[in-house]
Amino acid sequence: MLAPRALILRAPGTNCDHETAHAFERAGGLARRVHVRALVEKPTLMDDCQILCVPGGFSYGDDIASGRIFALELRLRLGDALRAFRDRGGLILGICNGFQVLLQTGLLLADPATGAARAALAHNTSGRFIDRWVHLRAPAGPCVFLKGIDTLELPVAHGEGRFVARSAADLAALDAAGQLALRYAPDASNASTNPNGAQADVAGACDETGRVFGLMPHPERFVDATQHPAWVGRLDPAASGAGLAIFANAIRSC
């Protein structure tokens, strides 16, 4: 059987595409980086792919708001192609800027009646960009990317990652459906590691099927033990990092 293929969709300002491709390859897939201009010209580039990933970065500079322009471009120019990809069982993963993009395209957490966004990623409570490691837990739910994962550590690096639901009712409904799939958790000394003030400690969320998933932390930055900030003298440098399981789950679910 051929290895599953991941299309890593980049835009001007995307900057985590190489390591994300590397992570899919480490997990046994084949990865191809494609510029959004090329995909707009030729949407059939998605045809032989089973996974679509929107990686991290600052698409179009994020000068207006994170992911805004990239999401608008996808909605207006590739909306049908992306829905068709999802409806034929394709997996969609958005990491950091990719999560911000997916929420604004209507592919993730949209109101089924109106298509309006039911959640957004706002500026961190601190008002600042932050790069740090966080503890995470994945409550049982439909998300195929998190299958078999209970807890893990990953780095975050963002200025706009505070999960905000449109209303308390939306938050409760998404929670009940198991769509608030990844949460910031306390560290060993029981201190919160929520880095941005997210509601309900939401770090990642999926659609009803669990096959479209977005998260603020960067799993591609922990596919190798040597990427952990305390690995020297403590972790086996030949071991994998905990983030690799997310890519491996995707490859297995194709």
Residue 171: DSSP 8-state: H
Minimum CB separation from other proteins for residue 200, in Å? 15
At residue 197, φ and ψ (nearest 5 deg) are: 85, 20
* Beta strands in 55-101, from DSSP E residues, in sequence order: 91-95
Residue 22 near other proteins by CB under 8 A: yes
Cβ proximity of 107 and 92 under 8 Å: yes
Q: Which residue, among 250, 196, 203, 204, has the nearest Cα to 223 in the 3D structure?
A: 250
Residue with tokens 């893990």: 152
Could you tell me where the DSSP H helices lie in 131-233? 168-176
DSSP string, 143-158: -GGGTT--EEEEEEEE
Instruction: Examine residue 164 and tell whether it contacts other proteins (CB under 8 A).
Output: yes
Strand intervals (E) in 38-125:
51-54, 91-95, 119-122
Rounded distance, CA 170 to CA 190, Å?
29
Stretch that binds other proteins, among 1-9, 125-133, 199-207, 245-253 (CB under 8 A): 125-133
218 is catalytic: yes
Decide: is 212 part of the binding site for other proteins (CB under 8 A).
Answer: no
220 catalytic per annotation: yes
- Judged by CB, which is closer to other proteins: 147, or 162? 162
Name the minimum Å distance from CB 22 to other proteins: 5
Binding residues for other proteins restricted to 49-108, rule: CB under 8 A: 56-58, 60-65, 68-69, 72-73, 76-77, 104
Among 53, 96, 143, 206, the one annotated catalytic = 96
* Distance of closest approach, residue 85 Cβ to other proteins, in angstroms: 21
Contact set with other proteins (CB under 8 A) = 12-13, 15-16, 18-19, 22-23, 26, 35, 37-38, 56-58, 60-65, 68-69, 72-73, 76-77, 104, 116-120, 122-123, 127-132, 155, 157, 164-166, 218, 220-221, 223, 226-227, 229-230, 232-234, 237-238
